[in-house]
Amino acid sequence: MSQADLVLHEEVVPLKSRIWISAGDASCSFLQTIIGGGALTYYYTRVLGLESGWASLVWLIFGIWNSVNDPLLGYIADRTHSKLGRRRPYIRYGAPLFALSFIFLFLDIPAFAGQQAWLFAQMLVGLFFYDTLYTAIATALYLMPYEMAVSNKARSSVFIWKIIFSVFSMALPPLVLLAIQPGPGQDATFYRWAMFGLALVLNTIIYFSTYFYEEKHYQQAEQQPGLWSSIVESFKNLPFVIFLISSFTIMYASNGLQQGILYYFDEFKIPQAPVFGGLGLGIVGGIILWVYLRPRIGLKKCLMAWLAVFAAGCYLMLLLGYSTAGAAFSFVLVGLGFAGGLFLIPLMNGDVIDFDEIRTGLRREGMYAGINSFVTKPAISLAQAVFLNIIAWNGYDQALAKGLQSAGARTGNLLGWMLVPALLFSISFISLFWYSLGGESWEKIKKELAAAHAAKEKSYLESLGYKAE
């Protein structure tokens, strides 16, 4: 196919599809921000009285299951054959069960009150079912842009909307939680009913979103290799291995930073408005900045700039987090980092999947998503466990009312919150020096891949008896 043909057949994702897939993705992310961002841990330790050691054990055991279910579900999804495609069935039919699993985590079971073993069991079993459904739905939503388009321009049109919606799924949960979250000894009835309502409303959005976007069915016809062969082949893809480092980092940071902020405002006499204002300014500015820079300096340079900015925000918060001005400025950089992660990481993931297709001749988004989760989802558990242990080592008492922790415990709060993410961002920055997918040669390969996709779709339609234009 000539260069002119590629321009004539440029991919366009309909506006309604971009909006609805972003709304569904943001709804799923909103619930995950509550669970993975520390609210669940806070609820069980500070409100229900589960000891930190038990809560850490839940996250560590849960991390093992997290490592198993993601590659398995990704492998199964790649082999799914249905009229809805490979991804949409999991979103549509998983949403009602997803709502129930979320509600179970916040159920008040009188017989469990004060019983460490039973609270431990409720949290662990609830997380088991919640995350299995979350993985199936979130992975499908995450992969849909790659099923719908191959060019970064077309994918970017989806990711921009996802970022806009993600601002709400990322910024609103901490604001809502800080406003309604009960402390030790306080009545949690309203809080629980709020969680139940969120689960029902957001999963309704997830369910109905599936009626407004489609995927390319021709990819269902591709023969996929076995599970072990798929895993081995994926790790032969060096750009993917480098991608995993940054992906692990953003997963750890996004969950750890959201968890730490709940504890931060409990103990530091810092007004919330300047900090969240700085975060919002950074996110909005970041959306504009990274969308502007990506086509001008290339994805690789954008990734390096993003990691440097995010690391700087975390390091500065360690030093300046005791003052309002310092915290607000640090969170401007953190906001720039969050926006970059939302926009740039999916584009990076798309490129490494495209590179795999060039190497193997197969489109294996599900397996790549599964392996990505195999490596990165334990970051959720680690972020929770590491934070809880660091603050415990520094004397944090979970039973104390808000604002009564010692100076050492407050310092431990900042260390547990910001130090590990800062170090991880620094390591990710260094790893990108070995990342090879960039420049004019890579863009040329991407255009050739777009032509190959058009040929595959044409062949599939003709095999069904339709005349492909």
Given a cut of 80, whether residue 392 has pLDDT beyond it is: yes
CA–CA separation, 198 vs 51, rounded Å? 27
Total domains in the chain come to 1
| pLDDT at site 191 | 93
Indicate the burial class of 42 (C-beta count within 10 angstroms; 0-12, 13-18, 19 or more): buried
- Give the number of other Cβ atoms within 10 Å of residue 6's Cβ: 15
The larger pLDDT score, comparing residue 360 to residue 468, is at 360
Tell which residue, 345, 313, 337, has the closest CA to residue 326: 313
**pLDDT tens, residue by residue, 153-182:** 677 778 778 878 877 787 788 778 878 888
Q: What are the φ/ψ torsions at residue 31 (nearest 5 degrees)? A: -65, -40
Give the CA count within 13 Å in the CB-facing half-sphere of 232. Answer: 5
CA–CA separation, 208 vs 91, rounded Å? 9
Residue carrying the six token digits 């009960």: 182
CATH of residue 258's domain is: 1.20.1250.20
| pLDDT at site 200 | 96
**pLDDT tens, residue by residue, 251-309:** 888 878 877 888 888 888 889 899 989 998 998 899 889 989 988 888 889 999 999 99
Given a cut of 50, whether residue 1 has pLDDT beyond it is: no
Domain assignment present for residue 108? The answer is yes
Q: Where are the alpha helices (DSSP H) in 80-210?
A: 88-105, 116-148, 152-180, 189-209
Give mean pLDDT, residues 307-329: 94
CA–CA separation, 364 vs 192, rounded Å? 40
Domain assignment present for residue 335? The answer is yes
| pLDDT at site 2 | 43
If pLDDT is split at 50, 70 and 90, which confidence band does 311 have? very high
If pLDDT is split at 50, 70 and 90, which confidence band does 463 have? low
Given a cut of 50, whether residue 410 has pLDDT beyond it is: yes
* Number of helical (H) and strand (E) elements in the chain, helices listed first: 17, 0
- Domain that includes residue 335, residue range: 13-208+224-436+443-463
- Give the number of other Cβ atoms within 10 Å of residue 287's Cβ: 22
The chain-wide mean pLDDT, for the chain, equals 83
Give mean pLDDT, residues 354-370: 74
**pLDDT tens, residue by residue, 332-351:** 999 999 888 878 888 888 88
CA–CA separation, 61 vs 378, rounded Å? 10
Given a cut of 90, whether residue 426 has pLDDT beyond it is: yes
| pLDDT at site 445 | 79
CA–CA separation, 207 vs 98, rounded Å? 10
From the CA atom positions of the chain, what is the Rg in Å? 22
The answer to whether the CB of 317 falls within 8 A of the CB of 414 is yes
Give mean pLDDT, residues 34-49: 85
Domain assignment present for residue 4? The answer is no
At what angle are helices 152-180 and 324-360 packed, to 10 degrees? 140
Tell which residue, 374, 384, 376, has the closest CA to residue 40: 384
Identify the weakest region by mean pLDDT among 173-187, 305-319, 422-436, 442-456: 442-456
Domain assignment present for residue 164? The answer is yes
Give mean pLDDT, residues 8-15: 64
Given a cut of 80, whether residue 404 has pLDDT beyond it is: yes
pTM exceeds 0.85 for this model: no
If pLDDT is split at 50, 70 and 90, which confidence band does 217 have? low
| pLDDT at site 225 | 56
Domain assignment present for residue 341? The answer is yes
| pLDDT at site 8 | 36
Given a cut of 70, whether residue 111 has pLDDT beyond it is: yes
Domain assignment present for residue 218? The answer is no
Report the percentage of the chain scoring pLDDT > 70: 86
Whole-angstrom CA distances from 369 to 20, 74, 196, 272 are 21, 6, 29, 36
CA–CA separation, 370 vs 235, rounded Å? 12
Q: What is the DSSP letter of 400?
A: S
If pLDDT is split at 50, 70 and 90, which confidence band does 10 have? low
| pLDDT at site 86 | 79
Domain assignment present for residue 8? The answer is no
Domain assignment present for residue 215? The answer is no
